[in-house]
Amino acid sequence: MPASSSKRSELDEQIDDFLKWLAATKSPQTVRAYGADLRQLSALLTNPNEPNQTLTSPSLCESNLSKYLRQHGGSSVTRARKLSTLRAFTRFLKRVGKLDHDPTEQLEAPIRRKKLPKVISKHQAEDLLDQDPPGKTPLRDRAILELMYSAGLRAAEVVSVKMNALDLGNGLVQVEGKGSKERVTLFGRTCARAIEKYLQAERETPMSPRPDDTLFTNKQGKALTTRTVQNIIKRWAVSSGLPPETSPHTLRHSFATHLLDGGADLKTVQQLLGHESLATTQVYTHISIERLKDTVEKAHPKSR
């Protein structure tokens, strides 16, 4: 076997082990993205003069990882993502005894300003949900928007909700989020009434306990697509005077922000959103602070 093939096979074996381990907790899309980054690293480190070289070799630690980031880092956002991949990989190698230190600790992360999610105000949410419904399926569409805003659901989650995942009496719904992770989230009585009206008067097929029965369907009784949900929200947004770029994630971001504004703790919001990391949820605290600052600047006589 050629030397380069031997070296490449050795590093690829470590990458494959890492990706298999990662697949137990991450979505297929995340695993593919990590794999693409690490294959770039493998190609860069292929050296026919050093056939057995791996990340355990000192010459492949800080200097070559830095070289990889210089060649493939691109923008600060891309560099940050690839650095995150490297750190996850080297932490894995350290965990399984292949490294005695983490070479990525010396690599500098790019400084980048986090882009805050767009949200609508509570007043705008009321205008959106309480308007005369546009479209030919008003009860279904209102129930969709109520559930997404009340429970913080993604578009992919709301179109996948099953009939037996709903507990209208207690305001509970079980959904399957990213990485096939299931969670239970809550919704209020207003949302429950909207769903009940839809089920009673507009759903094409009657309620059934079968697990494969989808809650929200089209005129043919088939499950909706995420694109349909996006179009529904856009239509309702424009009708209520909101920007046409208002999206399913706008409602999800608004759900989280309004909970924090109302006094909910960060851990509760994290659980309801299904975030794996609390750091992901913390972005909403920045939104709440920005909203508070804006209120103070407008209302307080000494703010300017």
Rounded distance between C-alpha atoms, residue 42 and residue 15, angstroms: 9
Q: Is residue 83 part of a domain?
A: yes
Q: Which CATH number characterizes residue 251's domain?
A: 1.10.443.10
- Active-site entry in 140, 142, 253, 275: 275
Catalytic: 183? no
Which pLDDT score, from 0 to 100, does residue 105 have?
A: 67
The one-letter amino acid code at 160 reads S
Question: What is the model's pLDDT at position 271?
Answer: 82
- Catalytic option among 39, 81, 249, 291: 249
End-to-end CA distance of the chain: 73
Segment (H or E) for 186: strand 182-186
- Chunked mean pLDDT (size 10), the chain, 304 residues: 45 86 85 85 63 49 56 61 79 82 62 65 93 92 96 93 92 86 90 94 69 84 93 95 92 89 82 78 64 55 54
Identify whether residues 131 and 258 lie together within a single domain. Answer: yes
Owning domain of residue 72: 3-106
Amino acid present at 162: K
Instruction: Please count the other Cβ atoms lying within 10 Å of the Cβ belonging to residue 112.
Output: 11
Residue 304 within any structural domain of the chain? no
- Domain co-membership, 24 together with 161: no
Shared domain for 286 and 197, answered yes or no, is yes
Do 102 and 133 fall within a single domain? Answer: no
- Does any domain span residue 278? yes
Domain identity same for 259 and 284: yes
Kindly state whether residues 27 and 174 are assigned to the same domain: no
CB neighbour list of residue 261: distance below 8 Å, 6 or more residues apart:
122, 288, 291
Number of helical (H) and strand (E) elements in the chain, helices listed first: 13, 3
**Per-residue pLDDT at 292:** 52
- Compute the Cα dihedral for 257, 261, 262, 263 and give only its sign: positive
Quote the DSSP letter at residue 56. T
Of 76, 106, 136, the residue at which a domain comes to its end is 106
Number of domain units in the chain: 2
Contact (Cβ atoms closer than 8 angstroms) between residue 11 and residue 47: no
Instruction: Supply the pLDDT for residue 24.
Output: 87
| Per annotation, catalytic residue among 34, 68, 198, 284 | 284
- The predicted structure's pLDDT at residue 300: 54
User: Scanning the structure block, which residue is given the tokens 């470590």?
Assistant: 14
Domain assignment present for 114: no
224 with 294, same domain?
A: yes
Distance of CA 146 to the CA centre of its chain: 20
Q: Which class for 281: exposed (0-12), middle (13-18), buried (19 or more C-beta within 10 A)?
A: buried
Q: Which of 118, 178, 197, 291 is catalytic?
A: 178
pLDDT of res. 168? 93
Q: Tell whether 216 is covered by a domain.
A: yes
Query: What's the confidence (pLDDT) of residue 119?
Result: 86
Same domain, 139 and 277: yes
Same domain, 95 and 150: no
Report the alpha-carbon distance of residue 177 to residue 157 in Å, rounded. 6
- Active-site annotation holds for 154: yes
284 belongs to the catalytic site: yes
Residues 159, 58: one domain?
no
Indicate the residue among 74, 106, 138 that finishes a domain.
106
Catalytic hit among 82, 140, 154, 162: 154
Active site residue 252: yes
Helix (H) or strand (E) holding 167: strand 166-167
Task: Give the amino acid at 13.
Answer: E
